[in-house]
Structure 1
Amino acid sequence: MAQQFFKSKALLSRLKPEIIPWLKKTVSKKRFEHIINVSEVAKLYAKKLKLDHYKAELSGLLHDSAKEIPSKKLLRLAKKKRIKLDKVDYKTPHILHARIGEVIAKEKFKIKDKDILGGIRCHTLAEPKMSPITMVVYLADATEPGRKRKKAAPIRKIFKDKGLEPAVLQAINNKLLSVIEKGGSIHPLTVTARNWLIAHIKIRKSRD
């Protein structure tokens, strides 16, 4: 574990001075502030859970790197990179920013780590079998200080009282409700992720 932390620390130390100036040129000031918030919160959550906080921080730094790419371009890039697309992706191509963000992390910054890439890829839709680091980034995105207190505060409390998985489940539930209230389409990945997480929590409870 210590050796892995050492590698992750070295990777963060090498890439952060490159990523920060690039982000400042690539995204708006408001988006940059959100990204930094998510990165810091992900680091804090990971530390609390005794996870690799260097990975969590780095994943947080790149999670919204493609957020401000226009929808048509996101769709074009996704097709070019042969990303598997659902009909919901065609209806709401802005959700592809997470998967294109993973491409940026791989191609521009040469990141290969599955946890770091998972945090970037899954922070919008989630997916089954998320790693703890991936879930930490998802949770940080839902609860960073810039989020509305009414929605974020209960999730933070669940994390404090019940742990990571129940908090992530609540964050997914909130996101689903928001999409439904707006009359949007639910992505099958999110439904599958939610079902997996419910089963995962039940299995963990049965072992306790």
Structure 2
Amino acid sequence: MKEPDLKKIRKAMEKELDPKRYEHTLGVAYTAASLAMCYGANLNSALIAGMLHDCAKCLSNEKKISICKKHNLPINPAEEKNPFLLHAKVGSYLASKKYGVTDPDILNAILNHTTGRPDMSLLEKIVWLSDYIEPGRKQAPNLPEIRRIAFEDLDKALIMALENTLSYLKGGNMEIDSMTQKTYDFYKNGGNV
């Protein structure tokens, strides 16, 4: 099984993403690589997942919906109201079909990088958290502390970031995908549902 070419993926992302999103993508890939080295995850998988996690982010909402309908990708009620959330699902699909990713762990890391899910793999947690703590992020509360803790206790940092995410969404009276709440509850309860 041949792994996707990281250099080709990087060039494709530079071409397909707007400059700000591309910089964010590089930040996520490098942060994911650093966390992978820290926790013994596959370095190349972390880089590929980080580079592709937002590969569908710059597609129009109409295009994301069209891809989902054309390829029978389910759309939940939160995604229907907020189609920008579909970028993870569509991104995982494109990673497989367009960029040749066959590793289910990489595809799941891309698929779950916005909401998380209970009982994530190490790579899924790394990519989810890297998206939150990458160097270009400036707004999140307690970011310096979460960045530090991410390299000491991945699950603790994950819980802190999920708490902040839920607090932000609730405070802004925004739609909360039920999976984000389930993910938080799972990790807050020590990995028990």
TM over 0.5: yes
Give me the TM-score of the superposition, normalised by structure 1.
0.85
Verify: 1:140 aligned to 2:149, yes or no: no
Show CA shifts across 1:65-107 (max 9, x none): 0111111221222222222222111111101101110001110
Instruction: Give the aligned partner of residue 111 of structure 2.
Output: 121
More moved, 75-84 vs 129-138: 75-84
Verify: 1:111 aligned to 2:105, yes or no: no
Whether contact under 8 Å (2:140, 2:164) holds in the other structure is no
Structure 2: 5+ residue stretches without partners = none
Whether contact under 8 Å (1:128, 1:197) holds in the other structure is yes
Q: Which has the larger radius of gyration?
A: 1
Instruction: Give the aligned partner of residue 190 of structure 1.
Output: 180
Match of 2:149 among 154, 158, 161: 158
Whether contact under 8 Å (1:165, 1:201) holds in the other structure is no
Verify: 1:130 aligned to 2:120, yes or no: yes
Instruction: Give the aligned partner of residue 23 of structure 1.
Output: 13
Task: Give the CA deviation at 1:158.
Answer: 2.5
More moved, 148-157 vs 180-189: 148-157
Verify: 1:47 aligned to 2:54, yes or no: no
Alignment root-mean-square deviation, CA: 1.9
Task: Give the CA deviation at 1:202.
Answer: 6.8
Task: Give the CA deviation at 1:57.
Answer: 0.9
Counterpart code for 1:36? L
Give me the TM-score of the superposition, normalised by structure 2.
0.92
Normalized per residue, the structure richer in helix is: 1
Corresponding residue SS for 1:153: helix
* 4+ aligned runs moved over 4 Å, structure 1: none
Whether contact under 8 Å (1:166, 1:201) holds in the other structure is no
Supply the distance in 1 between the matched residues of 2:75 and 2:135 (Cα, whole angstroms).
32
Q: Higher relative CO (CA 8 A, sep ≥ 6), structure 1 or 2?
A: 2
Shift in CA distance, 76/55, structure 1 to aligned 2, threshold 3 Å: same
How many residues get paired? 192
Task: Give the CA deviation at 1:143.
Answer: 0.4
Task: Give the CA deviation at 1:139.
Answer: 0.6
Match of 1:171 among 149, 161, 175: 161
